[in-house]
A and B are shown apart, each in its own frame.
Chain A
Amino acid sequence: MSTTHHHSLRKRLADLRGPGTAPRPLDARALAALAANPGCRRRALMDAAGVDKGAVAEVLGAPARFGQSRFAFSRGHAFEARVKRDGCAELLRLLGAADPGVPAEVPDLAAPGPEGRAARTRLALAEAPAGSWTLLDHPLLALEVAGSLAYLEPDAVAVAPDGRWTVVEIKSFPILDGGADAQKVGAAARQAAVYVLALDAVEPGRARPDVLLVCPRDFSNLPTAEWVDVRKQLAVTGRQLTRLTRIEDIAATLPEGTTFDLRYAADGSTPTRSRIELSQAVDAVPAAYAPECLSTCELAFHCRDRSRADGCVESLGRGLRGELGTLTTVDAVLSAAHGEAGDPADPAVAALRRAAALRAEALAAPVPGAGVPAQQAGEGAGERAGDAACR
């Protein structure tokens, strides 16, 4: 790719973000969320442009619900400091160092700007002496995602005496009696897989496909660790990230002058962009909403409103499409079920008609051993847009 090409994309993304707005760095959590929903062009583009999606959602009147509690934040920091104190002696022990008494090399990675830090990290990885441990505390790794560069910051990367690299992920949820919350471990594994991918971009094959997950043990503050095999997450995330539509292709489909600029007032914190205008800009990029977005994407409530207004079945659950075949809207499902539309030879339509008949029969049936009639569902679907918006 030519430099001018790179330059023009960067300019385009800066225009989308708005002049004078600092980009929000794309972190591993965001990449993992993106990989979980690779079809979402809206998220891909806005993340690549470094748009503050939370602020956009705020202006759209559909702010996200999640955030981080101060308590969890300070607990996380205190625990990480506990793991890394005394020159990471505790971490070395957890990594299985033969003699944790021998201190590890902890190179200084400080540099101005992400490019500088990433370069220092690459240098430190290359210069790590064989035969001893080197620990990189908060290194910065660069990964090209959909044609634009993302900088990622793992908690630590260890270089073992044999030269292999290990991603260390420090989390503050506990490992209780040898087990931890499966959802949290899954999220940590997906996040760590992104770091392994970024290390593979430095030198393929040097990073171990199992990462060290360091957590507090039981109800204490004592660190304990488990090796987590992330080969599966690596394969999935790697494949999904390559599937992402190239950012420039998405940007090319947008009407001239599209921007997510919030036009902050002179105080730098009051957005002046009109809701309608911003909404039009956001809706110019197609989204792939699924309920899972609600816990990972700041824009989810806005996308949910759109998805519901279009009557898309995905708003009821991502897995539904599989059994509904070509029926993509709630209206299509209901009219097929009630025999008003749809081809009876289509297995999905036939099954729905059967289900509707059985359901009606059951609701009309007297309940065994009780005389209370069941509440009947009302009819009368609201007005809905056509199928076009629901892929």
Chain B
Amino acid sequence: MTTQTADAGVVPNLILWVKPRARILAPLFTLIVLAVFFGVVTDHFLTLRNLENIVEQASLLAVLATGVTMVLLLGEIDLSFANVATLVGMTMALMSDGEIALGWIIPACVVLALAVGFTNGYVSAYIRVPSFMATLAMYQVAYGIAHYTSHATPVFAVPKFFSILGNKNLGFIPWISICALVVMVGAHFLLRYTRFGRYIYMTGGNREAARVSGVNTRWVMTAVFCIAGFTSGFGGMLGIGRLGVAYDNTMNSKLIDGIAAVVLGGTSLTGGEGGMLNTLIGVLIWTSLGIGLDLMDISIYIKDLVRGIILLLALIFNIIVQRSAQTEE
């Protein structure tokens, strides 16, 4: 009797606490389940060394996923970011190969990244080509430029500065993780504590209502694509700095990684809900999954299939949890 009455009080309270937080708790739950699973089935997953490895591996993805998060918050999509990363990284390598000073390389790469982002944004927002198509075209353009300028041969010149950022540590913290932290914290601040960030959420939540409320939604969209261009470019420079070599398809696999991480983190594909905390968890989920499968004693040929299936299952789980949180409100 007494336990029943206690339950009756605690359970509804718990539900009340969980429901508004389902968007962050569901991916967190996924992350914990994955960590426990890999901790049980492998010997090394839950070791300090491996956890450091996960953080380091996740850092590059985190930088790229930051831009994707903002674009998704607007209810748009960026399919070009991975190839834009390659393009900017390749530009950096080619300029370095031409012995141009770092003081020129950095501004040139930043301008290029912003210009690509601006093009994505302008074409989607003002000319109103659906961002899905506009950025798919940019995917091909960015790859095409990298392919053409490098003639499909690897470029082995990387500025020392980016080689250090990609590989070395500050004390025991990898520089690349510091970069990721700075980018993510900056984005979090922008989204949560600036007027521009509020406009992003409101525009993503209801584009027409934002426009009718006097928000310059097209400008917001263009600016967000510029930021996404910047994070892609920065990610590309870090990634190629880390590898020490630029191929014309270096970042290709990051396309699925970036979008999977953001969506697994719980940011809504239709816009307006989610944020950098979600993306942080999503990036950790996706990286843990990759590393955990590496540690498991299974055929390397089946890993992509397993990751794909787990992505699908996790997405279904997240959607169900979020939907139940909404409807029962």
Question: Is B truly associated with A?
Answer: no
